[in-house]
Amino acid sequence: MQITANGISLEYETHGPKDGPPIVLIRGLGSQMIHWPSELYEGLAARGYYVVRFDNRDVGLSQRCPHPDAPGDADDILARAAAGEPITAAYTLPDMARDVTGLMDALDIKTAHIFGISMGGAIAQYLVTDHADRLRSATIVMTAARPLIGSDQAATMLPALLSRPVGKDRYVAGWIEEHATNGSPGFPMTEDEIRAEAELAYSRGVDADGINRQVLAVIDASDRRPALAKATLPCQVIHGEDDALIPVELGAEIAATIPNCPFHRIAGMGHIITPKLAPQIVDIADSFITTSGR
């Protein structure tokens, strides 16, 4: 379903009782709402939550958001970086945080619990610091609060970060490789499951320029630690011991920065929430929310 939020069109779905406590799920870089395992959102819905999942701007079925002064094409971005030119981001993670509150507005949700992973976990941090009045609690998963790429590193790291248009077969193969590198070894998916998920994502819309605009938004993000240290909202952090992309120590740092913030370190969890891992995540999320007050 499509809805207008923060001035753009977002694809979304809801699950569970509409009068239940709302919880908004926020995805990471380049991924779509179909990458949430049903065991997660249906598991939360079965606990009585009104679950909202959506495609971030520039992915899946949500609106593409180019900007005339900001590149999205990988070759253009790399050429500007090589020339030492400033690279303007089309939008920022605070803009994407406003997409979440805009989605809540459009769905007539005054306050909600939020659950964000990776880039979505960074967006969740901006919601905690800038929009606390709209939140009931925040679950921050597999992410960091400090910038992971300095401005002096961007030019050398961009070639590995940027996306280029690929066909279906290469996209599916790439998602299988992603699971091999960054998946959750203690809670693996079969290759058939990974392939089916990737084929569905490709059919909904994979846009290299859109993903690159998200990459630039992530690189542009500020250090959230000073603001998080002043947070009063109930927050918890979940991170996998086997996360090969963002070390577990960076998740522990977030929990140590936010006052009274529990930290859940999960053995066998990498940088992907799989169907086998989802029930444990549901238990942690529900227990925290119930304890902190729905």
- pLDDT for 101 equals 98
Can you give the residue ranges of every domain in the chain? 2-292
Q: Is the pLDDT of residue 217 over 80?
A: yes
Report which of residues 154 and 136 the model is more confident about. 136
Mean pLDDT of 225-253: 98
Cβ-Cβ contacts under 8 Å for 259 (sequence gap 6 or more): 229, 231, 232
pLDDT digits (tens, 9 = 90+) for 141-177: 999 999 977 655 666 778 888 999 999 999 999 999 9
pLDDT digits (tens, 9 = 90+) for 81-95: 888 888 899 999 999
Name which of 172-181, 198-207, 241-250, 285-294 the model is least confident about. Answer: 285-294
User: CATH for 2-292?
Assistant: 3.40.50.1820
pLDDT digits (tens, 9 = 90+) for 33-81: 999 999 999 999 999 999 999 999 999 999 999 999 999 999 999 999 8
Percent of the chain beyond pLDDT 90?
91
**Number of residues that make up the chain:** 294
Mean pLDDT of 271-283: 98
Distance CA 105, CA 1 (A): 16
pTM of the full structure: 0.97
- pLDDT for 159 equals 86
Q: Among residues 160, 146, 121, which one has the least CA distance to residue 240?
A: 121
